[in-house]
Amino acid sequence: LWRGSHDVVYLFSGNKYVRVSRIGSGHDASYPRAIAGNWPGLPASFQRGIDAAFWRESNGKIYFFKGSQYVRLTSVPLRLDPGYPRPIAGNWPGLPDSFNQGIDAALCRRDTSQIYFFKDPAYIRYSAVPSGIDRGYPRWIDPNWTRLPF
């Protein structure tokens, strides 16, 4: 999870996370930390691990995905938005069924606000969420993303 307003990256593994302020310098002091207690209002299942996350600068919201559900947090002050968690299915228009069961990774481009979801060997893109996924998606990760070593 890259948080542009703080210019930091958060990496999640199991029930812990680290913050990286300077790439190449390792994680910040006093990390790793438990997810529980440090991300206000997260349901218990999300405190035990996060599958995917992204920060959307255009609306100041942080999105966490776990299994077939997601939550949205307001970033300032950090708090869970009312009505969450919600199922992925029905709230992200046009997603293929496999994506509704869980998201492997997610990102939001700062320059275009486009949202990308990755699942198994495929990915999708939203330019405007209410309009559904962009035409021509899903696409294969390979060869559409720079040659990745895995």
Show the tokens assigned to 52: 């995917």
Residue-level pLDDT, tens digit, the chain, 150 residues: 876 656 788 889 999 998 888 666 667 788 899 999 999 899 999 999 999 999 988 888 999 999 999 999 997 788 999 999 999 999 999 999 999 999 999 999 888 999 999 999 999 999 999 999 999 999 998 877 766 555
pTM of the model: 0.88
User: Residue 149 has what pLDDT?
Assistant: 57
- pLDDT at residue 146, as a whole number: 66
